[in-house]
Structure 1
């Protein structure tokens, strides 16, 4: 007999159940295949990041790999800095326009701060619903799901990986967490290798820079050339936007930028740095200082960051705690990359060698000064013992002859004229001797640079802020005492007028001695004055001081707002300066 329709054979599987088993098997195969593909993608990512030795490129590659591996819409790597704050934030998934709308990168609050305080993997279904969430800044794209994990280098947390919004509206799961942790472990090794490679390159640059500095010292180059070479070398070593070297003025904490390298070097060269600047604080304490936004840093005011917009920066002392000879500033423009610890260490080490260069240059200046003083004494002695005595003897001889030719008016007049000329020559030589013997005492009593700093510092109370001061040229050695006195009086009057009438919020003062010309400019952003208004006695006084020295005085309205005062006088020649000193 045949089997009835629909009857199942012993050991057979119903068709519907067979379809379910086949579907389940297919899903399993797909999961295995998907897992194999994800594992292959992970291995490819590990190989890719392991082959990259440029740290900045490596960090961005790590974030891109993480986004691909867990199929996230957005990814970021927050590199930790001092005191557990985020000092570098690398994003993937946002265009430049969105980043610009958001503004400053996060510092480490909210969920990002939670991962910093508790460095462990974290999965969230609703980012905004967590109790630690502080919301998003204006312009930030909405985000919901979240996956984060720390990146460790040699047992220390280097930063955190943040992934948001898994594509397709799905949630991040445990597999995603395992994959991201595996990538983070490989990333830690790759970052360590990149750091070692970076250290080796920095070491090579430092050795090359030291060799260049040694050659410059042995060549007998002028100190200003050595300082300029030092700033250029540091900029090449770091690839930064601006490097300055500030040296002390007098015995106080005030500094002046004596060398600068970068596109904005001309704007900061000669700039005076008061005690309120970060550079002056480094000079006083001997401790380095770093900043992520120098122009906005509340710890200091003034300095090059008030003239040029600066972002990430650091300052290192040149010398040791017993004797700091100057301060090196290395800075990038806002939005530029932050500086790694390796870079700061490299510049600090080079600064120690630069201190030796400054010390040798200082000894060379002292030796040259001693030689100069010896030459002055010798010249003064020779002039007194030989030249004046001979001229005096010649004058007496002519006076004796004069008594014998009284009856001849023409001869008498000529001889008397020669005698008068000899007397004038003796006076000039005596004035020269006096200047040679006393110039070094005047220089030791306090140079023009130090007095310019004093005047601008004193004006801060009346103005309500500290003026920016730039000093260039040989102000301490090329400007005679009389000219210096006029210059300081003009500056006092100009700053007083600004405080009383201009209602300004910034004042820029520039004093320059070059090409036998002494120039002072005072520019403010106040309401301006009418150049035709000559009723102010102070302005007439400034003009008369310029005309007394054969110079000019101009005051004009600036293009946008404020006033520009220019006071220019010629510097005397050596003979004229000696006569003035007498």
Structure 2
């Protein structure tokens, strides 16, 4: 097949590369707003692969567009390099945590895939104005010289407000163009697509200065629109995460306020009343003041203990555990510092190294909940944490204290949040949970994971 001057040779993707791209797309969770485009891409990949086998010795012609993406036509003309770029973009959605990092990866991929000199993506805030602007192809120094991010006027306003894609060979000739600010690099050809989520424009993705060609073509537009769909998924996911975190912070504030009102504030108020009473009786019955002051001092010690307990409960949540023994020791040290208890730790390093990441994380959270309960409710002076493993018994985590204890046969309807969490986590990982406690004796919690569920111990 004849190629235009400067046109790179396109090699069809191999079967392995097609499978890699298909597997990447299949990781999208069912039911998400990104699922339908991903399903269409995967279907088109498989159809395109079969189609190429049948016409391996015939030249490939570009099919007509069939809808907004023409996915089957796109995939059959993709090179291995194209597919690797799209796979990279998909991986970015799961490997990056920050929205800026995801968007930067997407604009880099879009610029490479379409052969552009520059690329950028803008994200609209709640007020309808551009709140984020991520670029590719322009250095930080050039960005600083340009100054303020775009205001969304001119041709960018067309993308943001009219929702229409733009492909221009010379953007300066379009009457809607507003020109460039000082120190802005010259740009000629333009390809821009709106970023749309559930029928609402939330940003735009655009590229300028097509390399080795006068203008961007239909295939470039289809590719960029697909990447725009990925961008929309990333933006909406980031916003949902922020909303959930905000809700969690609000719920935590309400819980702390309630705990402080029911506990610390009431105790401090009682101390104030006792001291006022002591001031009234000091002249007529000085011998009674000592008892009042002793009670006030005892109440203040309880306030200090309660505040330490709240501090211990406000530790950061952990999403992965690379060193379970070290993490358990840190929990133990935090308990010792905040409660002044005598804490003993014994951890089998070898057994801990045999656990899968999800198993280690679950056991860490169980230890965290158990020690939190000890610190808040047990009134113990001593606590021990042990973790051990054997081929016969599997691995076991035990937390034992010498505190107040409770009647395990009489807790219907009064089970605390922490204990429920421990039971749920043990059940989810297939572990056996034993809770042994008696009033005045203390409490022992044992979580045992059978050897069959531990790879290094399974026979």
Normalised TM-score (structure 2): 0.41
- Higher Rg of the two aligned structures: 1
